[in-house]
Structure 1
Amino acid sequence: MPDTAPPAEEIEAILRGRQGDPFRWLGVQEAGGQLVANVFAPDASEVSVLDMSGAVVARLAPVGNEGFFHGPLGRSDRFEYRLRLSDATGHVREVADPYGFGPVLGDMDEYLLGEGRHEELYRRLGAHPMTHGGVEGTAFAVWAPNARRVSVVGPFNAWDGRRHAMRRRGFTGVWEIFVPGLARGEIYKYEIVGAYGQTLPLKADPVGTWAEVPPGTASRVHGLVRHEWTDAGWMEARAKDHRAEPVSIYEVHPASWRRGDGNTLMSYADMAGQLIDYVTEMGFTHVEFLPVSEHPFSGSWGYQPIGLFAPTARFGTPEDFADLVDRLHNAGIGVIVDWVPAHFPTDAHGLGQFDGTALYEHADPRQGFHQDWNTLIYNFGRREVANFLRASGTFWLRELHVDALRVDAVASMLYLDYSRSEGEWIPNRYGGRENLDAIDFLKGTNEVAHAYAPGAMTLAEESTAWPGVSRPVPEGGLGFDFKWNMGWMHDTLDYMSQDPIYRRYHHDRMTFGLVYAFSENFVLPLSHDEVVHGKGSMLGKMPGDRWRKFANLRAYYGFMWGHPGKKLLFMGGEFAQEREWNHDQSLDWHLLEDPMHEGVRLLVRDLNALYRAQPGLHARDCDPRGFQWIDVSDNESNVFSFVRHGEEGSKPVVVISNMSPVVRENYRVGLPRAGGWIEVLNTDAGEYGGSGVGNGGAVTASEGESHGLPAHATLTLPPLATLFLTVE
């Protein structure tokens, strides 16, 4: 062996895939006062070093017979070079040496990553096609601080982790390498030798922005999304107080909204046509997608994601998703995505034991394992993990122009004893049940989201009475813009499921929500969770015969659209899907051939139009001045009546719900003013499938106090129906 060759034990480490510092030995190095080249090329029989003119500088000698080559270059000054590799069949190829390139990450990247403050870390970590040192290729970077060796592998190197072992960057625990010649679309994973010397299952890229279509589990080289955005006007205009704006959300599971022939999935491009047309006709202001982050198991509906920076490849490329968002914006429709920072699945190619240690998750299962979902819980107190998650949120809002993150399972994050028995959880440092690290993480996430994506919203699915969920962080809140009102949903659905003869005993289920309606900025959610796991469809929850089921549902939707709070309805609910939602099948669109189902669809369309047109129904959704009971206590008649107020000078809107199957003749209600009123919507109208009972459109209010209001009118209340009145 030549004296200038690396020590035998270092060569052996390279050959056995145990070399944790490959850049110290491979490539062109200084040894014995001269430049030498060391190359590991296990499929080569001959290796030569060329200068950029193509001239041979040196032919390297094999060291042993396992693919290691070494030789002096006869030069003392460094120069640009390439390698010529010949195999046993005589095939010759010229390549750039991955160990001939310097780092891609800069000192500031290293500093910010180490501090956990690199809020756009997706620009540096992951796989990024680029030109480096004048050569086209891909830069890879991944965080694995306890690993002994990290390599990028794929078809380009026969999945051999010895060939592209990465450079460790100081104290941050980030590893990087530039692989020349590797283009966008190539599949790859990371091969990691863990903290205890074990070779781990191949890992997908935590910050990869594109992946194989499941059940494939590899990442794809992609980098940042390349899309020519045309929604500048929308992005500028979205910076407003959404509490005073109409927000009516259509919740969509992309894989089952509508399917093609043979039960095939729609693509993002398909949705950009059909979904936009449908949502526009229906008048919803926003579409909310169940998680579209890459996830291995379709049956999780996306709620067990692995690729927090990758729109799922099931429906197309990241650019296809960006185009869908762009086109939704140009149609005047906002985009919300469900975002899942609470937990992640245990799939071997995912984040679990990523570098052979509990890196992203807590090591103790009392903190790090969800018993309900068999998933792992992020270690929110680790600054790098919190940074990773915050950057994911920023990525969707900033790079993909998403308008809001609906944050899943917030309650499970806030409480250390969530769904745990005594002895199965670890108290915080004060002995309490609050997860202080998760609280800090949520506050930080909301502050970063609002700073990096002006006008974007965050919405919390939080099912407890935690105070200040939707209050600003400086005021002691968690910083969300809105919170799902789970209590309202449970109470009102309980009431609606009762036979009308018993509803008088459950009247408070419909009224109690107003006790706390303005303690948070609320969204009223009738979500996917209410139509799965044996809960039946929205229509199926309603009591009575077929006619009464439809009438009850129409009346309930009317009550909901009149009630303070933004609106959310899961797909299929808008046309009274009869069967429970099945994530593997399309919605039952054929039901729209039935006038009763079409009637419900038309009603939801018209409710959206009314809600958007009448400031009284939305401008003070989150302000107690926007609501006034007319009669809160008519439980004997199953009637609820109230006034919605907008800003000063806007028209009040009166909402009256008769939740009994009896027509109420000559029913007296107080009104805010005398004069002409109009019945602007009646859920019992014939076009909606109702009986057509009503007040003929025009209503006259007379002077004279009633229900604490200065005027009154005598109305006919249709059976199982909600009326909306406004002044002429």
Structure 2
Amino acid sequence: MRYEISEVVKKDRVMELVFGNCSKPRDLLGRHFILQGQVISAYHPDAVKMEVISEDGEHYPMDTVERQPVFSLFLPHKRPFSYQIHMTFHDGNTYISSDPYSYEGLITEEEEKLFSKGNWTEVYHKMGCHKVKIGNTEGMYFAVWAPGARRVSVVGDFNYWNGMLYPMHKMENSDIFELFIPGLSCGQFYKFEIKNVQGDIIQMVDPYAVMNEEKENGASRMFDLGRFRWEDSRWLSKRYHGNVFKTPMSVCEVRISELDSPDEKVQEIVQDMGHTHILLRGTPERAKLGVERGFFEPTFYGNTPDTMRFFVNRSHKRNIGVMLEISPEYLTRAVHLFEKKHPQAVNYLLANILFWIKEYHIDGFVFRGLSENSSDFLEKAKEVIKKEDNSVLFIGEEIKGKQTRDFFDFEWNMELKAGVEEYLGTDFEKRQGKYFCLSQPLMKGDFSNTLLLLNKEKNNLFDESLIDKKPSCDYDKLTGVRMSYGYLMGVPGRKAWDLHSHENISSQEYVKSLIRIYQEYPALYEYDPLRASFEWINGMDAESSVLRFMRKSSSGRDNLLFICNFGTEEKENCQVGVPKAGKYTMISNSDAVEFGGEGRDEHQEVQAVSECWDLRPYSIKISVPPLATLIFKF
């Protein structure tokens, strides 16, 4: 071995490489400039011959080192030039490729320091797998954090999953391993092979992978996030400059498993109903298969990042926001990492949240299944979200022992929902005793910053099992559903509707009319912490089973009066106290024929008289159909 080569190619480094223990292969392989010129080295366990081919076509034979499949070449000049390695194998086959170890890493020293401290929030731009172009060469850049690893390699269908090829280079001041491999392209599969200090070897999917195989123990897949072109700048500007507490918000829940094709059916339904947001829920079946491994991988139809981005982009162009549900399983894994208080793990989690905001333009995050020990992580997550974009929503449920009302932008209203479920789940003859399950939760405070879910899951308040089915009942069992929808639209807070909670055509039309009223009347969505928009008229009339309340606007105009008959008998000449004289015009009747009702008292317009009732100076008299909600404006 020439003296000049021995300055770079040390025997101990060669042995580390050959025996699969090399953590810094770039110290040995690639191009190295020395005082006398430059040394180029390459390695392949099956090679018997190598030569360097320069950009001008010159061939330079390489010599073996220490009788190992490590080959080196000394050139007595320092002129940089592009080159490839021509390899000949035992079976006579040959292969020409660019040298991965001739390229420097892409992670800067400053980024490495930020990562070590847990402050590199845009770490996803370089960690994982990314399509890049260095000079005139295209390929894939890989980076992974592997603390305590003796050796990390990129393996895949492009190198027969052989960990002896493409060992990654460990950075100087961290446990980040990186490598650029020329010639690789999107669609190819890969994993990281890790050899620990005990000598055990495992292969793992990329924790930053944006796409994985949809099977047990599947590999990660190379993908280029940079090729997608967003067209939603108008929506993002509107969101950023808007105020969600002063504008209507109606959320439609959609399971990702229902988005099995790229057509616009779901978005057309959501837009036609008047919903402002789509909430994408996860797929339990995928979680059971063990597919949801990565925090950066979208679970979407087609299982590609661009199909989800296409969906979000198209939703925004239709003026529909898109929010993501954070599943309890995801949150449990996140909290487990967060509690380790390892800066790199915390960095990984917080960067992941920003990733969904920046790379997928997500408008909000919804958390369910929260445990007491999740509060610290959620508090830090919210801090990061709001610092990046204060218009991104943060929605969750109450955490036992924690004051969360001011923590989330909107909090799930579980108490009110439970009260209505208990009431409607009781036999009619016993419901009078459950009357205060309806009104009592609303007497405990302001629910304006809450989110109430109206869905059709088993044992939910709109499951048909909770609507009385006795043969003696001659009314439509959906009447009670419409009455409940009207009542719950009137109580404070935003509403989340399941995509299938109103599949019946008449009920669907009723819900559509309620959402239209909700968007038309600020009294239903305006939030002012200094002014109560909800006021009881009478929430104590258990004998009649009728609830009466008002929703008031900040302008004093277009206030709304809700009268909800939870009983099965029509209330003729029902007297209701009102705050002022004048005309009260009905704008909604859940018993209307167009909604599947019997059309009783559809066209009422009443004049308030100066007769005190319900501790109000004026009152009106109306007939209220059984199981019906009437809405008047005044």
Normalised by the size of structure 1, how large is the TM-score?
A: 0.80
Q: Report the Cα distance in structure 2 between the residues aligned to 1:674 and 1:25, rounded to whole angstroms.
A: 91
What percent of counterpart residues are identical? 28
Q: In 2 relative to 1, CA 159–319 (structure 1 residues): closer, same or farther, beyond 3 Å? A: same
Tell me if the contact between 2:148 and 2:175 (Cα under 8 Å) persists in the aligned partners: yes
Q: Report the Cα distance in structure 2 between the residues aligned to 1:537 and 1:149, rounded to whole angstroms.
A: 57
Is residue 275 from structure 1 mapped to residue 284 from structure 2 by the alignment? no
Paired AA for residue 298 in structure 1: R
Look up the match of 2:356: 396
Tell me if the contact between 1:123 and 1:224 (Cα under 8 Å) persists in the aligned partners: no
Offset at 1:61?
A: 2.7
Offset at 1:58?
A: 2.8
Q: Unpaired segments of 5 or more residues in structure 2?
A: none
Look up the match of 2:522: 615
Look up the match of 2:580: 673
Q: Report the Cα distance in structure 1 between the residues aligned to 2:377 and 2:399, rounded to whole angstroms.
A: 18
1:64-75 paired onto structure 2 within 5 Å: 64=67, 68-75=69-76
Look up the match of 1:692: 599
Q: Report the Cα distance in structure 2 between the residues aligned to 1:712 and 1:695, rounded to whole angstroms.
A: 20
After superposition, the C-alpha distances for 1:196-229 in whole angstroms (9 at most, x for unaligned) are: 33212x2221112222344572222224343222
Is residue 337 from structure 1 mapped to residue 320 from structure 2 by the alignment? no
Offset at 1:291?
A: 3.2
Offset at 1:54?
A: 2.1
1:356-375 paired onto structure 2 within 5 Å: 368=336
Q: Report the Cα distance in structure 2 between the residues aligned to 1:397 and 1:634, rounded to whole angstroms.
A: 48
Equivalent residue for 2:385, pick from 449, 452, 455? 449
Paired AA for residue 286 in structure 2: S
Tell me if the contact between 1:47 and 1:85 (Cα under 8 Å) persists in the aligned partners: yes
Tell me if the contact between 2:421 and 2:460 (Cα under 8 Å) persists in the aligned partners: no
Offset at 1:452?
A: 1.6
Q: In 2 relative to 1, CA 339–609 (structure 1 residues): closer, same or farther, beyond 3 Å? A: same
Equivalent residue for 1:241, pick from 215, 240, 243? 243
Offset at 1:393?
A: 1.5
After superposition, the C-alpha distances for 1:277-308 in whole angstroms (9 at most, x for unaligned) are: 1111111111100138xx9x525599x84222
Q: Report the Cα distance in structure 1 between the residues aligned to 2:109 and 2:497, rounded to whole angstroms.
A: 48
Q: Report the Cα distance in structure 2 between the residues aligned to 1:516 and 1:184, rounded to whole angstroms.
A: 56
Q: Report the Cα distance in structure 2 between the residues aligned to 1:111 and 1:696, rounded to whole angstroms.
A: 71
Equivalent residue for 1:531, pick from 457, 466, 487? 457
Q: Report the Cα distance in structure 1 between the residues aligned to 2:423 and 2:514, rounded to whole angstroms.
A: 21
Is residue 508 from structure 1 mapped to residue 495 from structure 2 by the alignment? no
Look up the match of 2:109: 107
Q: Report the Cα distance in structure 1 between the residues aligned to 2:97 and 2:301, rounded to whole angstroms.
A: 34
Offset at 1:664?
A: 0.7
Offset at 1:170?
A: 3.0
Paired AA for residue 486 in structure 2: G
Q: In 2 relative to 1, CA 620–316 (structure 1 residues): closer, same or farther, beyond 3 Å? A: same
Look up the match of 2:48: 45
1:616-631 paired onto structure 2 within 5 Å: 616-620=523-527, 625-631=532-538
1:166-177 paired onto structure 2 within 5 Å: 166-177=168-179
Tell me if the contact between 1:679 and 1:726 (Cα under 8 Å) persists in the aligned partners: yes
Paired AA for residue 521 in structure 1: N
SS class of match (2:138): strand
Offset at 1:407?
A: 2.4
Q: Report the Cα distance in structure 1 between the residues aligned to 2:368 and 2:195, rounded to whole angstroms.
A: 33
Look up the match of 1:15: 18
Paired AA for residue 405 in structure 1: F
SS class of match (2:252): strand
Q: In 2 relative to 1, CA 482–195 (structure 1 residues): closer, same or farther, beyond 3 Å? A: farther
Tell me if the contact between 1:213 and 1:314 (Cα under 8 Å) persists in the aligned partners: no
Number of aligned residues: 626
Equivalent residue for 1:381, pick from 295, 317, 341? 341
Tell me if the contact between 1:19 and 1:149 (Cα under 8 Å) persists in the aligned partners: yes
Look up the match of 1:315: 302
Q: Report the Cα distance in structure 1 between the residues aligned to 2:450 and 2:331, rounded to whole angstroms.
A: 27
Q: Report the Cα distance in structure 1 between the residues aligned to 2:557 and 2:344, rounded to whole angstroms.
A: 50
Look up the match of 2:211: 210
Q: Unpaired segments of 5 or more residues in structure 1?
A: 258-265, 346-350, 352-359, 362-367, 369-376, 416-434, 472-477, 576-596
Q: Report the Cα distance in structure 2 between the residues aligned to 1:660 and 1:710, rounded to whole angstroms.
A: 27
Q: Report the Cα distance in structure 1 between the residues aligned to 2:281 and 2:487, rounded to whole angstroms.
A: 26
1:257-276 paired onto structure 2 within 5 Å: 266-267=260-261, 269-270=262-263, 273-276=264-267
Q: In 2 relative to 1, CA 136–399 (structure 1 residues): closer, same or farther, beyond 3 Å? A: same
Is residue 541 from structure 1 mapped to residue 466 from structure 2 by the alignment? yes
Q: In 2 relative to 1, CA 301–723 (structure 1 residues): closer, same or farther, beyond 3 Å? A: farther
1:251-650 paired onto structure 2 within 5 Å: 251-256=253-258, 266-267=260-261, 269-270=262-263, 273-291=264-282, 297-298=285-286, 305-312=292-299, 314-340=301-327, 343=330, 368=336, 378-379=338-339, 381-409=341-369, 411-412=370-371, 415=372, 435=373, 438-462=374-398, 464=400, 466-467=402-403, 469-471=404-406, 478=407, 480-518=408-446, 521-527=449-455, 531-532=457-458, 538-545=463-470, 547=475, 549-575=477-503, 597-620=504-527, 625-650=532-557
SS class of match (2:132): strand
Q: Report the Cα distance in structure 2 between the residues aligned to 1:344 and 1:185, rounded to whole angstroms.
A: 29
Q: Report the Cα distance in structure 1 between the residues aligned to 2:413 and 2:401, rounded to whole angstroms.
A: 10
Tell me if the contact between 2:448 and 2:494 (Cα under 8 Å) persists in the aligned partners: no
Tell me if the contact between 1:499 and 1:543 (Cα under 8 Å) persists in the aligned partners: yes
Q: Which has the larger radius of gyration?
A: 2
After superposition, the C-alpha distances for 1:614-639 in whole angstroms (9 at most, x for unaligned) are: 11111138775100000010111111
Tell me if the contact between 1:669 and 1:706 (Cα under 8 Å) persists in the aligned partners: yes
Paired AA for residue 209 in structure 2: G
Q: In 2 relative to 1, CA 300–693 (structure 1 residues): closer, same or farther, beyond 3 Å? A: farther
Tell me if the contact between 1:34 and 1:76 (Cα under 8 Å) persists in the aligned partners: yes
